[in-house]
Amino acid sequence: MTRLTVYPDDDATTILFETQNPEAVATMLEEINVKFERWLAGCDLADDAGPDEVLAAYREDVDRLMQEGGYQSVDVVRVKPDHPDRVAMRQKFLAEHTHDDDEIRFFVEGAGAFYLRTGGRVYQVICERNDMLHVPAGITHWFDTGVEPHFCAIRIFTTPDGWVGHFTGDDIATRFPAFEPAA
């Protein structure tokens, strides 16, 4: 279930706000210029579907979004519990970072947690299939795949370089609750 939990950025034990209501998630994130929408991820993916097959399944939506926003690159991240690089990938995404351009993620399978840090707060957004999150350039964030990751996200970027992270070196991700998918 999509969920937003807001904490002070210096106290992961205090919850300032929490909701599973998609409209409330969108409204709260809009206050920090992050866009959240529910889309329809209507294609079931084969277990062995690679990036090309995922993009082909969602080509119409991806092309429309890229044209509307003037975006220049797209990729797919798909990680399952048996992925050989799952531990290294999780560690990379857990490192707090920013991007010089916008990052859009459309979750077409599974779930993961985005943590956005701005204005003295951390916004934990648990995204699942059908969730679209648009993080503008410069927002400090990290992403947790969970110990046994299962998600597939189409990522769309402003620049042709795609995903380029500028790491802050802060270990803040170790001080906040890790993502644990709903059972």
pLDDT tens for 98-151 read: 988 888 899 999 999 999 999 999 999 999 999 999 999 899 999 998 999 999
| Domain count within the chain | 1
The per-residue pLDDT for 114 is 95
Task: Give the CATH number for residue 123.
Answer: 2.60.120.10
Residue 86 domain-assigned? yes
Paired with 136 in beta bridges are: none
- Phi, psi dihedral angles at 57 (to 5 degrees): -65, -30
Least confident of 5-9, 11-15, 25-29, 77-81: 77-81
Q: Report d(CA 10, CA 87) in Å as an integer.
A: 26
Q: Report d(CA 103, CA 136) in Å as an integer.
A: 6
Residue 172 domain-assigned? no
Q: How far is CA 173 from CA 34, 91, 97, 161, in A?
A: 20, 10, 11, 26
Residue 174 domain-assigned? no
Which of 133, 109, 114 is CA-nearest to residue 58?
A: 109
- What is the percent of the chain with per-residue pLDDT over 70, rounded to a whole number? 96
Residue 122 domain-assigned? yes
- Indicate if the pLDDT at residue 3 is higher than 90: yes
Residue 93 domain-assigned? yes
pLDDT tens for 144-170 read: 989 999 999 999 988 766 666 678 889
Residue 182 domain-assigned? no
Give the domain extent around 133: 3-164
Residue 82 domain-assigned? yes
Residue 137 domain-assigned? yes
Which of 112, 114, 78 is CA-nearest to residue 96?
A: 114
Average pLDDT over residues 2-15: 97
**Residue 105 one-letter amino acid:** R
